[in-house]
Structure 1
Amino acid sequence: MAKTRKDLRGRSLRKGEVQRASDKRYMYTYTDPLGRRKFIYANDLTQLREKEENLLKDQLDGLDIYVSGKATLNETFDRYIST
């Protein structure tokens, strides 16, 4: 049976969440639409989870590519037509 990962205070961590032992900051790891590994940092677990929620909303809206400036003309046209 798999053990759940916990932070230094004993709180359960979700998939992708880690608490660094060196500076005790929380880190969330994810992969962007272009296949690159990205990280989000926070001093508190609640702040980290708020940032995760905002990231998820942006990903569902399709804003990742547009914010990073990597959208192609076809992707921009498809988004324009869909709206």
Structure 2
Amino acid sequence: MSPCGIHWDEIDEDVSFESFAYEEPEPLNPIARAFKAMPFINVSQFARMIKIPQSVMASYIAGRKIPSEDRKREIEAALHQLGDKLKTISL
């Protein structure tokens, strides 16, 4: 054991103490943040609802593709519509 971690002899591996406290970094892109904040939204169904391929929506969320400003507004409007629909539910 060292001040920085431990050595696992059986597999000849060093493990840092820092690795035990790993936290996933906050996504930088706003679309990823929105869907991370609401993991209960089915991304495939959402993409179908706004008539774009699921793979394109996934690429926006992953940051592999950057949506146009029009597409961002379309996604935002659809999220707001979803919220409006949820507000109409009476139990």
**TM-score, with length taken from structure 1:** 0.35
Which has more radius of gyration?
2
**TM-score, with length taken from structure 2:** 0.33
Task: Identify, as 1 or 2, the structure richer in strand.
Answer: 1
